[in-house]
Structure 1
Amino acid sequence: MSTKTKRNFINIGSFILGFGFLGSLDGIIFHQLLQWHSVIMDTSRPEQIISDGVFHLAVTITLVVGGVFLWLAGNPTDLSKGIRLLVGGFLMGGGIFNLVEGIINHHILKIHRVKPDDPNALAFDLAFLGMGALLLVIGLLVRKSGQKQEIKISA
């Protein structure tokens, strides 16, 4: 496998895995453990359970797809700064999950909020978006720092 193909598999796989992982954490923590919200709040409990089940199935499939890409990529340490690509992509995928899910579901579609019955519901929604932005920025910095070092080494 070429270095470019391996790098692409790591980039795609780590991003998808991070996206699915944050989706799973959202479902486990906010839906199940804290029971703050469900995917679709304005339904009966059986419909909420179905909507959450479809969500959990989707993020599980996402985790498997990300894992397959990473398996195909092989050992990330075979590449210069491969671990940085892996970690950076994972954090970026997780950050994008929070941003996309937060913007679309919490603000545009308004199908649920992070903690809808709280008087500070907007603060919870903004914190969710802020965490997504923070993960995205950290992921970008991890990847960028690896690229700078790689350029210095090869120059």
Structure 2
Amino acid sequence: MPAAFPTEAMQRKAAATGRNVLSGVLLGVGIAAFLDEAIFHQLLHWHHFYDRSTPAIGLISDGLFHAFSWFATIAGLFLFADLRRRMVLNALQWWGGLLIGTGGFQLYDGTVQHKVMRLHQIRYHVDMTPYDWTWNIIAVVLIVAGAVLLVRARRRPA
């Protein structure tokens, strides 16, 4: 039966769990945003982060988006280094967070930014249905895989 009051060890474990997941989520968001920006914005020229204005504004929005992705990446890596330094890195929690962060960013991008806010679409002048389905299905698969890892990590004995 669990103690009525959490012990110091239980509090440290809970804090480490949160930092493991947060580090993974931040790095996952950063990686997904970076890949999106580098591949679809720069290499393929399919869209800009904000396509409802001039091409110059689109490039500026891409630059801000790119900066955001690197801030998230660096923050996730700093947390990762701190977890390793403190010797509380939990690989299952961290990878679960990373997959949830990557899929969460992609699902947010595909639903909120593409459909609700209409900041941009994946592609223009083509049938977007296969792109939308593929984008969002991959996002859900990543989120589910991350959730499975987090459940496994919770069930694993300390």
Q: In structure 2, which of residues 115, 119, 130 is the aligned counterpart of residue 123 of structure 1?
A: 130
Equivalent residue, structure 1, for 2:39: 29
Q: Which of 84, 87, 93 is the matching residue for 2:95? A: 87
What is the distance in 2 between the residues matched to 1:116 and 1:123? 13
Look up the match of 1:110: 118
Counterpart pick for 2:141 among 129, 134, 138: 134
Q: What secondary structure does 2:93 align onto?
A: helix
What secondary structure is seen at the aligned counterpart in 2 of 1:74? helix
1:16 to 15, 26, 30: 26
Partner of 1:144: 151
- CA distances 1:96-140 after superposition (whole Å, capped 9, x unpaired): 00111111111101121111221x212212211111111001111
Higher Cα Rg, which structure? 2
Distance 1:33 1:77 in 2: 39
Alignment length (residue pairs): 148
1:43 Cα deviation after fit: 2.2
Change (3 A) 1:147 1:97: same
Checking the alignment, whether the CA contact within 8 Å between 1:91 and 1:135 is kept in structure 2 is yes
1:11 to 1:104, Cα distance in 2 relative to 1, 3 A: same
Would the aligned equivalents of 2:97 and 2:150 in 1 still touch at CA under 8 Å? yes
Spell out the pairing of 1:91-102 with structure 2 (5 A cutoff).
91-102=99-110
- Distance of 1:78 and 1:104 partners within structure 2: 35
Q: What amino acid sits opposite 1:129 in the alignment?
A: N
1:6 pairs with one of 1, 16, 24:
16
- TM-score normalized by structure 2? 0.85
Whole-angstrom CA distance in 1 between matches of 2:125 and 2:139: 22
- Provide the TM-score with structure 1 as the length reference: 0.86
Could you tell me which amino acid in structure 1 is paired with residue 99 of structure 2?
Answer: L
> Structure 2: where are the runs of 5+ without partners?
1-8
- State the identity as a percent: 24
Distance 1:117 1:29 in 2: 18
* Amino acid corresponding to residue 63 of structure 2 in structure 1: G
Match of 1:60 in 2: 70
RMSD across aligned positions (CA): 2.0
